[in-house]
Amino acid sequence: MQILFEGSQPKQVSDLSPKQPARTMTSDIFASHSTERLDGPSDYLLRKAKRSKEAQNDLEALKNTSTLYIGNLSFYTTEDQIYELFSKAGHVKKIVMGLDRFNKTPCGFTFVEYETPEEALFGLRYLNQTKLDDRTLQIDLDPGFVEGRQFGRGKSGGQVQDENREYYDAGRGGYGKRWTTVASANEGNGGDIVNYGAPIVSSAAAPEAAASTTDQEPPQAAAPLVVEDAGEVSTGENGDAASEGDYYEPQA
């Protein structure tokens, strides 16, 4: 006797009432209960494709790509570790490590190229959000590596996201590069003020400014304080810190 599955309990065909016709297992039934695909382009790539023709071409290229972009890596993760993990999804053809464009040291992203597009989809589907060196990997399809994309585009040479970080991340160089630069410049001026996100005012210059106004007839204008601009931080489109390796920022 034929057995059908209704809910969580199996039922015999003879147990079904005439008003409840037997259902057959078809692809349509599975489709109605399917979840979000795990091997498609990210929302970020889809949004980008709406803004430029070049991005639309990149999105079209994803249909046949065999390359993945991997972000949020530790600076200390090696190529051997990456190869060992991603070879579980297919035959890895090439690994291109993201580098600080000044120091030529790893800066937290990489490109992995497989032999076939199918293997790249497997890598995205099964390895995205997994952990390597205690860091959750951010994996996305990539239209294909082009020479030059392996270098960070942050002002200090690394990734843009590492310029603005306000917390300490031991796996990615400590505090954000911008804050490190501000603190170093302030210390060099003899001051004790570290005002993140604002110009640096050296407290060492304050006594001189005050002295210039003493016993002056008529009163002279105070000497200007020493002000050094912390500088602007490069960002991607819409002010977002785009990841290195992406075509659309003027990204690891």
Per-residue pLDDT of the chain (252 residues; tens, 9 = 90+): 444 444 555 555 444 445 555 444 444 444 455 567 777 888 888 888 888 888 888 888 888 999 999 999 999 999 999 999 999 999 999 999 999 999 999 999 999 999 999 999 999 999 999 999 999 999 999 999 999 999 988 888 888 888 888 889 999 988 887 766 555 555 555 544 344 443 333 444 444 444 444 444 554 554 544 444 444 434 444 444 344 554 333 344
Structure confidence at residue 41 (pLDDT): 82
Rounded Cα distance, 186 and 177, in Å: 14
Structure confidence at residue 83 (pLDDT): 98
What's the first-to-final CA gap in the chain, in angstroms? 59
User: What string of H, E and C letters represents the secondary structure of the chain?
Assistant: CCEEEECCEEEEHHHCCCCCCCCCCCHHHHHHCCCCCCCCCCHHHHHHHCCCHHHHHHHHHHHHCCEEEEECCCCCCCHHHHHHHHCCCCCEEEEEEEECCCCCCEEEEEEEEECCHHHHHHHHHHHCCCEECCEECEEEEECCCCCCCCECCCCCCCCHHHCCCCCCEHHHCECCHHHHHHHHHHHHCCCCCCCCCCCEECCCHHHHHHHCCCCCCCCCCCCCCCEECCCCCCCCHHHCCCCCCCCCCCCC
CATH of domain 43-141: 3.30.70.330
Structure confidence at residue 184 (pLDDT): 55
Rounded Cα distance, 7 and 140, in Å: 36
Extract the tokens encoding 177.
Answer: 């590069």
Extract the tokens encoding 100.
Answer: 């600080």
Structure confidence at residue 234 (pLDDT): 41
Number of CB atoms found within 10 A of residue 221's CB: 9
Rounded Cα distance, 27 and 103, in Å: 54
Which class for 181: exposed (0-12), middle (13-18), buried (19 or more C-beta within 10 A)? Answer: middle
Say which amino acid occupies 161: Q
